Amino acid sequence: MVRVIVDSSFLLEMVEIGKDLLRLAEDMIEDRIEAIVLPGVLEELANLSGRPGRKGLKARLALQIARKFEILDFPRSGGEAVDDYIVRAASELGIPVATNDVELRAKLRAAGIPHIYLRADGGIGVYGEL
């Protein structure tokens, strides 16, 4: 089993396309994935869920999904950006990340942290060794 930190962009994409991207990733890597969310990701989704319209609805649905995952009690420094928080947690804990955020993926690559993402063709991509 592979533990994976899931960020808000990955959760929002799951809602947008209506597919369980984690199950698709499991099929690709031929191993089970235990999804983990950080409190900062929940806060980010909660803030987005207050928006009107489609974006708020997607965030509310993503938040419902996220609350079913293990919530990892990992401290966030005051004023720390969520992306930097995710990179620090993944690095310190040795856990890969599932994200579709281009900037976060660049930070993860620079830090040598493995990650799962949705490719442009709709398939699952993996950077590094999970």
Angstrom distance (rounded) from CA 82 to CA 119: 23
Q: Give the tens place of pLDDT for each residue, 66-81.
A: 999 999 999 998 889 9
Q: Give the tens place of pLDDT for each residue, 52-107.
A: 999 999 999 999 999 999 999 999 988 899 999 999 999 999 999 999 999 999 99
Mean pLDDT on 1-20: 96
What pTM does this model have? 0.94
Kindly report the backbone phi and psi dihedral angles of residue 70, in degrees, each rounded to the nearest multiple of 5, phi listed first.
Answer: -65, 130
Tell me what percent of the residues of the chain surpass a pLDDT of 90.
Answer: 95
Quickly name the fold that domain 2-127 has: Rossmann fold (3.40.50)
